[in-house]
Amino acid sequence: MGHITKSSWVPSVTLRVDAEGVEPAALLLGADGRVRGDADMVFEGQPVHPSGAVRHEQASLVLALHEVEAAVERIVIAGVADGGTLTALAPDGATVASYRVPGSPDATAVVFAEFFRESGGWKFGGVGKGYGSGLAGLVTEFGVEVAEAEESSEPAVAGPVPLTGVVKMPGQAPSADGAVVSAGRFPPVDGAVVHGGPFPSADGAVVSGGPFPSADGAVVPGRPFPPADRPYQLVEGWEFGPVFEAFTITGDDDQVVTVDGRVPPGPVLVEAAHEDRGYFGVFPLNSKNKDEEYLFNTTLPDFTGSSVVPAPEGRALRLRVRADRRWAMRVKPVAAARRLEGTLRGYGPEALLYTGGVADLQVHFEGDEDGGGYVGIWCHEVAGHTRLTDQPTLLLNRTEPQRRTVPLPEGPLLLLYKADGPWTLTVDGLDR
C-alpha cells in the first residue's frame, strides 16, 4: 500500500502535522519500537503527552521535536482512514515534509509516516501501511492494549479506540518483604493483577493533566477527565515510603473517603482530578475526625494534582472531599510520583522526586487565568527517613507569574510543588 520514499531531514522545531480531514494519532516509541505506557499515545481522546512535546489540536498534531524526551526514538503518525496525504508544516507555514498514501478498500486504518532520530536530529519517512483490523489492530502492534468492544446493535463509529492500559512499563521496585514488584502492577493476595496509576506521567510517570503551556506560551486544553484506573510505574531505586497496591475511587460531590487496608502506614502519594470548573478540596481527617491541613484547595479549571500525606498507624487513612463536580482520586506509593530531571511541565500542585546531585532549579510559573496565582516549593530530604520531615526547607514562596532560580541540595529529595496554573521546571546540574 503506498510507496516508501527516501527519508528526509526535518528541522528540530515545533511542527504541525495534518492529514486531510483525518483525526491523526501519534505513538511515541522507545528503542524497542513499542510505547512505554498509555500516555505515549496522543489522539483526540487523550490530547496531550505528559512531556507536553506532542499535542492533538483541532484535527492536527503538534510535535515540538526539540522537546521530545531522549527515550523516544520514533513518533509514528496514524489515523482512521484508508489513505490520504500527510503534511508537516514549520512554524512559518512552510511545508517541510509530505507523503501521500493511496486509498485501499481493504484498510480501515493506516500508518502514514514516522519521525525518527538520526545523528542528533530528526528525519521524516513515509510508511503507508494499512490495517484491515482498524485502529485497534494498528496500535496493538506498537504495544497498546485495547479495551474489548461491547456488543451493540448500534453501528460502530470510526475514531480513536478506548484504552485499558499499556504494556512495556520498565523498572522494578522492592516490596515491603523484599520481593520484587514490577512497576505499574501490584499483585494482591489472590494473585490477580490490579492497575493503578497517575492521570498520566513523564520519564515514566505522569504529568498531571490539565492545560499545558505550548511552545509560544499559550495554554493548551488538557486531556479529558481521567478514568479511575490507569497503569503507572515506580521510580527505580526510590526507598522512601511503603510499596502497596493502589487504591482508587471516584465521586461527583462531597464525600468522606476511607482508604482500605491495602494502604499501610507511612507517607503515601495522593493524586486527584476535578472536572470542569468549581471548587475542589481534600482534607485529611485526624483521630478526632476533624480536618487537618488541606492537601488540595483549589478552583483551577480541570484540576489535576498530587501531594503526599502520612497514612496513620493503627487506623485507616480518611480524607474529606469537597467538590462541585465529578472527581477521581488515587492513593499510591510515593515511588510512583514523577521524577524531576531535565525539563518538566505541569499544571497545578505536584509531588516530585529528585535523585540527582546539587543543582539549580529554574522555575517558570505562568500564573492563573487572572494573571495572579501562588507558587511554592517545599523540600523534604528523605535519605534515611521513614516519614516526612517536620520542618521542610521552603525553596520558593511567591505570588503572581515568576521566573526564578532556586538551589537544590543533593537527592534523594521529595519536592512538594504548589502552583495555581501552568509551570515549567528545568534542572541545571552543577559541576563539582
Q: What are 84-103's pLDDT values in tens digits?
A: 899 999 988 889 999 988 87
327 and 343 fall within a common domain: no
Give the domain-ending residue among 289, 317, 336.
336
Give 362's DSSP letter: E
Mean pLDDT for 168-191 is 30
Q: Which helix (H) or strand (E) holds 90?
A: none
> Is the separation of the CB atoms in 388 and 308 below 8 Å?
yes
Do the strands 359-365 and 422-429 form a parallel or antiparallel pair, or are they unpaired? antiparallel
- Indicate if the pLDDT at residue 226 is higher than 90: no
Asked if residue 173 is part of any domain, the answer here is no
> What pLDDT score does 287 carry?
93
Q: What's the one-letter identity of residue 297?
A: N
In a domain, 1, yes or no: no
- Average confidence (pLDDT) over 210-231: 44
User: In terms of domains, do 325 and 351 share one?
Assistant: no
Region 49-65: mean pLDDT is: 89
- Spell out the alpha helix ranges (H) of 48-206: 134-140
Q: 62, 254 in Cβ contact below 8 A?
A: no
Tell me how far CA of residue 209 lies from CA of 46, 54, 247, 364, in angstroms: 10, 14, 19, 18
Q: Are residues 133 and 14 in the same domain?
A: yes
Any domain includes 164: no
Say how far apart CA 201 and CA 197 lie, in whole Å. Answer: 9
Dump pLDDT digits (tens) for 310-327.
999 999 999 999 999 999
Assess if residue 224 is contained within a domain. Answer: yes
Q: Is 63 helix (H, G, I), strand (E, B) or coil?
A: strand
378, 413 Cβ separation under 8 angstroms = no
Q: What CATH number should be reported for the domain holding residue 347?
A: 2.60.120.1050
Asked whether the predicted pLDDT for residue 210 surpasses 90, the reply is no
pLDDT more than 70, % of the chain: 78
Judgement on whether residues 185 and 329 belong to the same structural domain of the protein: yes
Share of the chain above pLDDT 90, in %: 44
Maximal CA-CA distance, the chain: 70
* Bigger pLDDT: 39 vs 364: 364
Neighbour tally for 85: CB within 10 Å: 14
Q: Is residue 393 part of a domain?
A: yes
The pLDDT, as a whole number, for residue 87 is 92
**Surface-to-core class of residue 16, CB atoms within 10 Å of its CB (0-12 exposed, 13-18 middle, 19+ buried):** middle
Based on the fold, state whether residues 188 and 325 are members of the same structural domain. Answer: yes
Residues linked to residue 86 through DSSP beta bridges, in sequence order:
99
Residue 220 domain boundaries = 180-336
pLDDT of residue 307: 96
CATH code of the domain containing 247: 2.60.120.380
Asked if omega into 155 is within 30° of 0 (cis), the reply is no
**pLDDT at position 225:** 58
- Assign 105 a pLDDT band (cuts: 50, 70, 90): confident
pLDDT of 333 above 60 = yes
Task: Tell me, yes or no, whether 374 and 328 share the same domain.
Answer: no
At 119-156, the pLDDT tens digits run 888 999 988 888 888 888 888 889 887 655 444 333 33
> What is the rounded distance in angstroms from the CA atom of residue 427 to the CA atom of residue 356?
9
- Give the domain CATH number at 24: 2.60.60.30
Segment 62-82 mean pLDDT? 91
Residues 126, 52 within the same domain? yes
- Asked if residue 163 is part of any domain, the answer here is no
Confidence bin at 302 (pLDDT 50/70/90) = confident
Residue 409 confidence (pLDDT) above 90: yes
Which DSSP state fits 67?
A: G
What does the pLDDT read at residue 230?
61
DSSP E strand stretches across 199-239: 212-213, 219-220
> What pLDDT sits at residue 68?
92
pLDDT category of residue 227 using cuts at 50, 70 and 90 = low
* pLDDT: which is higher, 133 or 214: 133
Residue 426: pLDDT above 70?
yes
Domain end: 298, 317, 336, which one?
Answer: 336
**pLDDT for residue 158 is more than 70:** no
Q: pLDDT (tens digit, 9 = 90+) per residue, 360-391?
A: 999 999 988 888 889 999 999 999 999 999 88
Q: Is pLDDT above 80 for 166?
A: no
Number of domains in the chain: 3
For residue 169, tell me if it sits in a domain.
Answer: no
Last residue of a domain, one of 289, 307, 336: 336
User: Which residues pair with residue 322 across a beta bridge?
Assistant: 281
What's the rounded mean pLDDT across residues 274-280?
89
Is there a single domain that holds both residue 419 and residue 359? yes
Q: Are 342 and 328 found together in one domain? A: no
In this structure, the answer to whether residues 404 and 325 fall within a common structural domain is no
Contacts for 103-107: CB closer than 8 Å, 24+ residues apart? 104/1, 104/130, 106/130, 106/132, 107/1, 107/81, 107/82, 107/83, 107/131, 107/132
**Whole-model pTM over 0.75:** no
Are 375 and 413 members of one domain?
Answer: yes
Asked if the model's pLDDT at residue 1 lies above 70, the reply is: no
User: Are residues 128 and 12 part of one domain?
Assistant: yes
Q: Given this model, what pLDDT does residue 219 score?
A: 33
Residue 421: all three cell numbers together: 496554573
Given a cut of 50, whether residue 222 has pLDDT beyond it is no
Report which of residues 229 and 168 the model is more confident about: 229
Res 181 pLDDT > 70: no
Q: Residue 400: inside a domain, yes or no?
A: yes
Report the chain's mean pLDDT, rounded to a whole number. Answer: 79
What are the residue ranges of helices labelled H in 178-326? none
pLDDT at 123: 92
Mean of pLDDT values over 272-295? 91
Residue 277 reports pLDDT greater than 80: yes
Beta strands in 201-337 (DSSP E): 212-213, 219-220, 247-251, 255-258, 266-274, 280-284, 296-298, 303-311, 318-323, 327-333
